[in-house]
Chains A and B, each alone.
Chain A
Amino acid sequence: MLQIKNLVVNYGAIQAVKDVSLNINTGEIVALIGANGAGKTTIVKTISGLLKPTSGSILYEQKNLQQKKAPEIVAAGIAQVPEGRHIFAGLSVAENLQMGAFLRRNRKSITDSLQEVYQRFPILKQRQNQDAATLSGGEQQMLAMARALMSQPKLLLLDEPSMGLAPIFIQEIFDIVQAIQKQGTTVLLIEQNARQALAIANRAYVLAAGHVTISGTGQELLANPAVQKAYLGG
C-alpha cells in the first residue's frame, strides 16, 4: 500500500531521517518504535505532506506522494492523528468531527460516519456540544482519532496516541487501534510504548538516529534481545 524508499528528510539544518525504507501492506498494523529524536514523527509528517523530503520516494498505491500538499494526501486516503492530539480548541466536539469530514461532500454518508464514530466513542457523543478544549487528555486523544476517521482513511497514521495518558486510557486506545484494523483500515503506529505497540503490530520497524536498525514481525521484535534491552526495559 505504501512504500518508502531511501527517504531523507532535513529539519532545518538537522538531517532527521537518513535513508529510511519501509513498507506498509494493506490491512496491517505496522509499528514504528524508537527513542525520542529517532525521526519517527518526521517520517509521519513527511508522509502526510507537512514536511517535504530532501530525497527518496514515497509511493502510495503506486502514486508518488512527495510533491503533494497535505490536503491532497488526505483526499488520497491517508489521515494523520498528530502527536499531542492537536484538536481544535474553541470548536465544539461536533465541529471538530465535522472538520474531519471537510473534504467529503455527501451529507448522508457524513452523518452515517458520525453515528459510527459516536458508537465507537460514546463519550464524544455525550460531549458533542462542549468546547473540545474542556475534554480530558484521553478524551482529546479519542477526539483526534475520531476526527481522522471522519475522513474515511484507508491508511491511518497514529503518532504517539498513548503519550501522556492514564493507564486505563492507554489500554483503551490500543483496543481501539485493533478495532480500527478489523474494520479494514491500515495503521501506521508510532509509539514509545513499545511493548504494547509490538503486541498488536503485524510488523514493526525500530528506528535509531534516523535509520531503520531492526525490522520484523511484532512477535519477532518482542523476542529480540536487542529490542528487549533497548526498548522493553529488560
Chain B
Amino acid sequence: MQTFWQQLINGLSLGSIYALLALGYTMVYGIIKLINFAHGDIYMLGAFWGYYSINLWHFNFLEALLSSMIVGAASGVIIEYFAYRPLRQAPRITALITAIGVSFFLENGMSYLFGSTARDFPQVIKQVNYNFGGVLISNIQILILATAAILMVALQFIIKKTKMGTAMRAVSVDADAAELVGISLNKTISFTFAIGSALAGAAGVLIGLYYNSIDPLMGMTPGIKAFVAAVVGGIGSVPGATIGGFLIGLLETLVQSVGLSAYKDAAVYLVLIVILLILPAGILGKNIKEKV
C-alpha cells in the first residue's frame, strides 16, 4: 500500500508536467488543426531559460517560472508567425512537416549555440523530503503539483470567462463565422500559441527542478508523450489533455515501479496504439464526422 501511494505521488508529479505540455498541443490543434511537433522544444527553451536566469541573474523560483513562461509564449508566437502562418492555406501535411522541421531547428540550433551536453539544473529550492507514514513527498513535488494546478485553473478561467478565451473557442468551432463577427484569426491564433507555449515554458522549469538535468534534446520524448496524452484525452479537448497527461504520468511511473523501467516509453506508445484502435477520438474527444 505504501508503495502504491508513493508511486501515485510520483506519477501525479510527472503527470502534471505532461498535462501542462499536452494542453498546448490540444489548444493548437483545436484552433488550427496542427500537431505542433515543436511544442516539446519550447519546453526545452523554457528549461534553458530557467537554467541561465537562475545561474546568471540569480532569479528565484517564481521569477524563473514567470519569465520562462514569457519566453515560451514569445517563442510560440514567433514560430507560428514565421513557420506556420505562411502555410495557413497549404495542405495540412505541409504544416505538419514544417513543425518537425522547426523542432529539428530548435534542437540542433540550441546544441550548436550552447553545446549538446546535459547540465545540472540549479537547485533554486533546496529539496526537503517529508515522510507521511512511509510515503516520501518532496517539497519540489508539492511545488510542481501546486504550480500545475494553479496554471490549469488559470487556463480554465481564460478559456471559459474571458473575451479572448471565448473568441478562441469560437474560432476553433467555426473560423469563417468568427471572422464575420469581427474576430481576427491571426490575433486569436497568436494568442493561443502564446498561452499554450507559456505552459510549456513553465513545464520546462518544473522538470528542470524535478529531474535536475537538462539538455537540448530533452523536449523530444516528453513532447511525444504529451502528444500521446493529448490524443488519449481527446485531441482538441482541454479537460481531456489534463486527464491524459495525468494518466500517462501514472502509467509511466507504474511501469517503472514494477521493474520494467526499460519499457516505460514503449508502454506509453502501446497505450497510443490501443487508444487509436478502440477509442480513436480519445476519452473526451467528440467523434466528429467530416461534413460532406
Contact = CB atoms under 8 A, between A and B. Distances in A.
Interface string B172-188: 01101111111110000
A182 interface: no
Given A71-B184, A74-B182, A151-B182, A98 B163 contact: yes
Contact of B180 (A48, A89, A95, A98): A48
Interface residues of A, number: 27
Interface string A48-75: 1110000000000000000001110011
Interface string A85-120: 011111100010011101100000000000000000
Contacts of A90: 169, 173
Interface string A140-153: 00000001101100
B166 A147 contact: no
A79 B183 CA distance: 12
B180 A88 contact: no
A48 B181 CA distance: 10
B27 to A, nearest CB: 14
A226 to B, nearest CB: 34
Interface residues of B, number: 16
Would you call the interface of chain A mostly helix, strand, loop, or mixed?
A: loop
Contacts of B174: 86, 88-89
Given A91-B169, A99-B167, A102-B163, A86 B182 contact: no
22 contacts: A50-B179, A74-B181, A75-B182, A79-B180, A79-B181, A82-B177, A82-B180, A86-B177, A87-B177, A88-B174, A88-B178, A90-B173, A91-B169, A98-B166, A99-B167, A99-B178, A102-B182, A102-B183, A103-B182, A147-B181, A150-B181, A151-B182
Given A70-B179, A87-B177, 17 more contacts: A50-B176, A71-B179, A71-B183, A71-B184, A74-B180, A75-B182, A82-B177, A86-B176, A88-B169, A88-B174, A95-B169, A95-B170, A99-B183, A102-B181, A102-B182, A103-B182, A151-B182
